[in-house]
Structure 1
Amino acid sequence: MRRQFLRMGLSCLVALLLLGAGPVRADSDQDRARAAVESGEVKPLGAILKAVRQRYKGQVLDTQLLDMGGRWIYRVRLLTKDGKALDIGVDGRSGQILDVQGD
């Protein structure tokens, strides 16, 4: 009986550790990005996409907001009308396009 309780206790502990290990970091990154936008430290995604679309025509496939050592960078993946995939780096604070790969 004692061995059964010990086994069940260890199983519960392992399950709690596994459930809590992954999402905590993801939620933390998302929360920090959301807080940066809400505080005005980073431009909202809509403003970034407007700047990108003024310069490049196509369909936005994916976006990410990355903290690069204290500097927020949006990565925008865009499919142009002629079928090229562009990866566009945009400064999150100023909205300035920093680099374009696949151009």
Structure 2
Amino acid sequence: MAGDEVSKKAEDHDIALGALARQEVLPLETVLSQVRKTISGEIVGIELERNSGVWVYQIKVIAPGDNMIQAFVDARTAKVIETRGQ
């Protein structure tokens, strides 16, 4: 099972690199820079997903007061689409 997890992560990484090479997504640092302007806290998780043809970063942040916030960010524009939690 551990081998399957490693294989899946490698495949996910390759998919993300391909999207970046095709300029379908912005570099992660560019996206994080924009997110940090609107959400304070420590980033503790990042996922890149494709939903209905749109690449979206799901970024988990522990905000002040130990509140968990999930930010959904358009990976092509770095615009925060939605936040959950507070």
Q: TM-score, normalised by structure 2?
A: 0.84
The within-5 A match list for 1:36-75 is 36-75=19-58
Whose helix proportion is higher, 1 or 2? Answer: 1
In structure 1, the gaps of 5 or more residues are 1-17
RMSD, matched Cα: 2.0
Q: What is the aligned-residue identity percentage? A: 25
What secondary structure is seen at the aligned counterpart in 1 of 2:66?
coil
Detail structure 1 runs of 4+ shifted over 6 Å in the superposition. Answer: none
For 2:7 and 2:78, the matched residues in 1 are separated by 29
Task: Please identify which structure carries the higher strand content.
Answer: 2
SS of the residue aligned with 2:31?
helix
Letter in 2 for 1:43: L
In the aligned structure 1, how far is the partner of 2:20 from the partner of 2:27?
6
Larger radius of gyration: 1
Counterpart residue type for residue 73 of structure 2 = V
Question: Which blocks of at least 5 consecutive residues in structure 2 are unaligned?
Answer: none
Alignment correspondent of 2:81: 98
Count of residue correspondences: 85
> Which of 1 and 2 has higher RCO (CA within 8 Å, sep 6+)?
2
Aligned mates of 1:70, 1:29 — CA distance in 2: 16
Q: How does 1:20-31 map to 2 (within 5 A)?
A: 22=4, 24-31=7-14
- Which residue is 1:33 aligned to? 16
